[in-house]
Amino acid sequence: MLHTDAWWRDAVIYQVYPRSFADSDGDGMGDLPGITGRLPHLRELGVDAVWLSPFYPSPQHDAGYDVADYRGVDRRFGELGDADKLIAEAHGLGLKVIVDLVPNHTSEEHAWFRAALAAAPGSPERERYIFRDGRGVSGAEPPNSWQSVFGGSAWERAPDGQWYLHLFDVSQPDLNWGNPEVRAEFLDILRFWLGRGVDGFRVDVAHGLVKEENLADWTQSSQILGGLDPAGPPPPMWDQEGVHEIYQSWRRVLDEYPGGRVLVAEAWVAPASRLARYVRPDEMHQAFNFPYLEAPWQPAALRAVIDESLEANNAVGATTTWVLSNHDVVRHATRLGYPVGTPRMHGIGAEDPQPDTALGLRRARAATLLMLALPGSAYLYQGEELGLPEHTTMADQFREDPAWERSGHAERGRDGCRVPLPWEADAPSYGFGPTDASWLPQPATWAEYALDRQQGVAGSTWELYHSALGLRREHRLGHGSLTWQDATEGTLAFRNGDVLVLTNFGPEPVELPAGARLRLSSEPLDGDGRVPTDVTVWASF
């Protein structure tokens, strides 16, 4: 494991979703001691760092992305001392720790928002958020036409008649980043966690903090997170020029601390050249590559997005950050089980068309092997190393994602990728915790995905990830560079250092180049030593 200050440039970073990773006390909700207890497993898997989704005090209306206090730990997850222990334990194992920072909005239960509601229009308390008078004779219409990402209007009326902006749930009022007090507060929050030893921050909705000054109407799309037309005008709530000076000021703070502390942008911004502006040398270090995540399982499309990403990031001296799954999207083992070209899904329910699970897993394993051979850094989402699919038949009564209600049940939402992990096939809650309790129901088929059914089992998905991470380190693939190779139609092939990577998307098996020695393969080769359909191989010479 590299421990230079630039550790993040080639790091494999594992996303832990605290609610669903490991439950130490049996209440059905994962917690920090649960995570700490399982850290040796992540070390063994072979990742370099963990990113923890929010664990701060929160009413949990958006699973913790509604923060009531940025300097604490929600009692459901433990206490501050548990965070300290987790960080120390991770460091002892050689793992870096990235925490989630949610600067676009607070929870409605944050002391600032309570004070804002209690104060009068025009007061300094209201100036920390985006309050406006409504339109229409009595101000009964929202101030503009913006839609919430979760559906419905992005404005809510306060009891005294003014409106406040919430790009997400009504319980997540947007902060006013034009206010110096807000800026100062977040610099202090950064210092609070840096002082406790965290190695970085994943910055939630990094492209949303600054809104166009006059809050102009925007009617082009209610699908404001992703799905934007890169050729069209920038939407007034996303990717405004003003966000960059905020990250420059954060970078200056991070650079005061030793050891290479990092900022990772969650920014749904396209094209890649626009996203690369977030990772210029004086700003953030990484930005999730969502165009890569969203690319169809198709060689030309993947090659184009890989080239575009590398080129845009190289131009600013940054590495590229690859990702296939996270807590907001349908898991890639399920996504890839639908016909190529299926539009992005916002959750799947029992009445929806169901995926081809075997095909999805086969392609997911091939996709992962392709991703882990690319130069740069890669993010893994908990459970993908087990080949976990989405829970696609969850009864609607269990859904907690606010998008389900706010969209008027048009979107099933993200609960299906957030189900607690199976660790032991024959234990209660599959070893998620000591009891049967699990905040979301686990599918009955999950015994077969449990860690203890996969460790030491040749060909299991866990063993595939384990081997891939080991070889990736041995061949320094994250530090390498990519050279495309001539390849049969329907395949992608590239060299990264001494490793040849080949993915076969086509219907017929393909030969490995003469002299190539197989190092790893997402599925066995066929009887003639050829690479079958939907398989990635790593070979050396």
Is the Cβ of residue 102 or residue 367 nearer to ligand NOJ in the bound state? 102
Distance in Å, CB of 493 to ligand NOJ, minimum: 34
Residue 237 CA to residue 267 CA, distance in Å, equals: 12
Distance in Å, CB of 216 to ligand NOJ, minimum: 23
The 10 Å Cβ neighbour count of residue 416 is 24
Q: Which ranges of 255-392 would DSSP assign to H, the alpha helix?
A: 272-275, 290-294, 299-315, 332-335, 357-372
User: Is residue 74 flagged as an active site residue?
Assistant: no
Greatest CA separation found in the chain? 79
Dihedral angle over CA of 25, 31, 36, 42, nearest 10: 120
Residue 366 CA to residue 520 CA, distance in Å, equals: 11
Q: Token digits for 474?
A: 């041995």
Residue 63 CA to residue 70 CA, distance in Å, equals: 15
Per CB under 6 A, residues contacting ligand NOJ are 62, 65, 102, 168, 204-205, 266, 327-328
Distance in Å, CB of 404 to ligand NOJ, minimum: 12
Distance in Å, CB of 532 to ligand NOJ, minimum: 36
- Nearest 5°: phi and psi at 389? -85, 175
Is the Cβ of residue 275 or residue 501 nearer to ligand NOJ in the bound state? 275
CB 202 within 8 A of CB 194: no
What is the arrangement of strands in the sheet containing 200-203, beginning at the earlier edge strand? Answer: 286-287, 262-265, 200-203, 96-101, 49-52, 12-16, 377-381, 321-323
Q: Token digits for 357?
A: 């699970």
Distance in Å, CB of 205 to ligand NOJ, minimum: 5
Is the Cβ of residue 102 or residue 117 nearer to ligand NOJ in the bound state? 102
Out of 23, 48, 204, 239, pick the active-site residue: 204
Is the Cβ of residue 266 or residue 415 nearer to ligand NOJ in the bound state? 266
Q: Are strands 499-504 and 12-16 parallel, antiparallel or unpaired?
A: unpaired
Amino acid at 265: A
Residue 54 CA to residue 67 CA, distance in Å, equals: 8
Instruction: Collapse the DSSP code of 535 into the 3-class scheme (helix H, G, I; strand E, B; otherwise coil) and give the result.
Output: strand
Is the Cβ of residue 17 or residue 338 nearer to ligand NOJ in the bound state? 17
Distance in Å, CB of 18 to ligand NOJ, minimum: 13
User: Is residue 256 flagged as an active site residue?
Assistant: yes
Out of 160, 245, 255, 256, pick the active-site residue: 256
Residue 454 CA to residue 200 CA, distance in Å, equals: 32
For the chain, the residue count is 541
Is the Cβ of residue 203 or residue 537 nearer to ligand NOJ in the bound state? 203
Q: Which residue is nearest to ligand NOJ (CB)?
A: 65
Distance in Å, CB of 42 to ligand NOJ, minimum: 21
Instruction: Collapse the DSSP code of 11 into the 3-class scheme (helix H, G, I; strand E, B; otherwise coil) and give the result.
Output: coil
Is the Cβ of residue 51 or residue 423 nearer to ligand NOJ in the bound state? 51
Is the Cβ of residue 105 or residue 251 nearer to ligand NOJ in the bound state? 105
Q: Token digits for 128?
A: 């920390």
Residue 415 CA to residue 399 CA, distance in Å, equals: 6
User: Which residue matches tokens 């997170």?
Assistant: 225
Distance in Å, CB of 204 to ligand NOJ, minimum: 5
Is the Cβ of residue 62 or residue 108 nearer to ligand NOJ in the bound state? 62
Instruction: Collapse the DSSP code of 242 into the 3-class scheme (helix H, G, I; strand E, B; otherwise coil) and give the result.
Output: coil
Report how far apart, in Å, the C-alpha atoms of 74 and of each of 30, 100, 198, 309 are.
12, 14, 18, 37
Report how far apart, in Å, the C-alpha atoms of 218 and of each of 74, 211, 237, 406 are.
36, 12, 9, 19
CB 502 within 8 A of CB 539: yes
CB 257 within 8 A of CB 194: yes
Ramachandran quadrant class, 479 (left: phi over 0; alpha: psi -120 to 50; beta: rest): alpha
Please compute, for residue 344, the number of CA atoms within 13 A of its CA located in the half-sphere on the CB side.
17
Distance in Å, CB of 335 to ligand NOJ, minimum: 17
Active site residues: 204, 256
